[in-house]
Amino acid sequence: MKSYWKHYFIDNHDIALIEAGVQKNLPSQINDYTVHHDYVIHIVLSGKGYFVVNHQHYELQKNDCFILKKDHHVYYEPDHDDPWTIGWIALGGKNIDHYLKDTIITHRDTFHFKEDSAVYYQIIELITFLETINPQMTSNKLKIIGLLYNLLAEINLELIAPSTFIRFTLPEVPQLAQNIRHYLKTNYHLPITIEEVALHFGISRNYLFQICKKYFNLSPKQILLESRMAQAACLLRSSQLKISEISEQVGYRDTFQFSKMFKNYFGHSPSQYRILSDETIDDSVLTLPILYHEKSLLNTKKPNVEIWL
């Protein structure tokens, strides 16, 4: 992985990617400063180094993680004989504290990744993706925001703070939740219903709803819809496929229903969305999924009313 350091400032008014990078440090390279970003997650890719924060000294090596937090003074440097290579992403945004509040990201300064850590590999995937893409393209911004939400979901599954882990009465639920989310996000192209998803996992529809709301703060319908709409938006902007073909590729056999759902989600019909300039849709594309989610929450406040596929 090549060394790079880029600033992005991609913010959808919910979460934000501030910067990312990879750096092979020289033995004499010292960092000593006060952190300005909300959270900067560093992973040690190879070598060794030292990290100091809050008068605590840490010796770190491959697969270790250290976290820089806003307004904290930090000091870190590579080992002289085996200088480290580190990768990092800086996260922020209006609700980033909410998404991380129950995880060790906010409770600890360092930790070690297990060999099969999904969080570790998602950070590597994100850093690698960010190295070469054009962050000004709307399709890439959508992908980045999607990768960030996936990363936050994995962090909340894998890196639960000890004080919050006792809330889980069934230890197998986090893995079940992860499997459900993966199933919904990878089968968006099929005309599946929520009842079929529940049947696939051998659980009731209500229990499926409870799991998704507890671990992702989204209903299964919303997870499926967001996956379908994100893929549809990318296809509209990057392909010459007919709208009816895109409709089928994202799980809708009825093109009229697809167009209705797309307009409700993005505020534009598929045909309108396809011809808009990047400048016109840049902000609205990133914020409308949040607005749709808020509107859905308002709708679900009505007593004894649940909307399912």
Over residues 220-228, mean pLDDT: 92
d(CA 156, CA 296): 23
pLDDT for 281 equals 58
Q: Is 60 exceeded by the pLDDT of residue 294?
A: no
pLDDT for 266 equals 87
Q: Is 80 exceeded by the pLDDT of residue 133?
A: yes
d(CA 234, CA 141): 11
pLDDT for 216 equals 84
Instruction: Tell me the residue length of the chain.
Output: 309
pLDDT for 234 equals 81
Over residues 25-51, mean pLDDT: 93
Q: Is 50 exceeded by the pLDDT of residue 168?
A: no
Q: What CATH class is the domain 168-299?
A: mainly alpha
pLDDT tens-digit map of 46-59 = 999 999 998 899 99
pLDDT for 161 equals 80
Backbone angles phi, psi at 44, to 5 degrees: -90, 115
Q: Pick from 230, 222, 232: which is nearest to 197 by CA?
A: 222
Task: List C-alpha distances in Å: 85 to 62, 190, 229, 257, 273.
Answer: 9, 42, 38, 50, 43
Q: Is 60 exceeded by the pLDDT of residue 308?
A: no
Residues of the chain with CATH 2.60.120.280: 4-162
Question: 10 Å Cβ neighbour count for 185?
Answer: 18
Any idea which fold 4-162 has?
Answer: Jelly Rolls (2.60.120)
pLDDT for 295 equals 42
Task: Give the pLDDT band of residue 167 (cuts 50, 70, 90).
Answer: very low
Residues of the chain with CATH 1.10.10.60: 168-299
CB 51 within 8 A of CB 112: no
pLDDT for 29 equals 85
pLDDT for 28 equals 78
Give the pairing of strands 48-53 and 73-78. antiparallel
Q: Give SS3 for 143.
A: helix
pLDDT tens-digit map of 187-216 = 888 889 999 999 988 888 888 999 999 888
Q: Pick from 141, 137, 178, 135: which is nearest to 156 by CA?
A: 178
Helix (H) or strand (E) holding 77: strand 73-78
d(CA 241, CA 11): 30
pLDDT for 57 equals 92
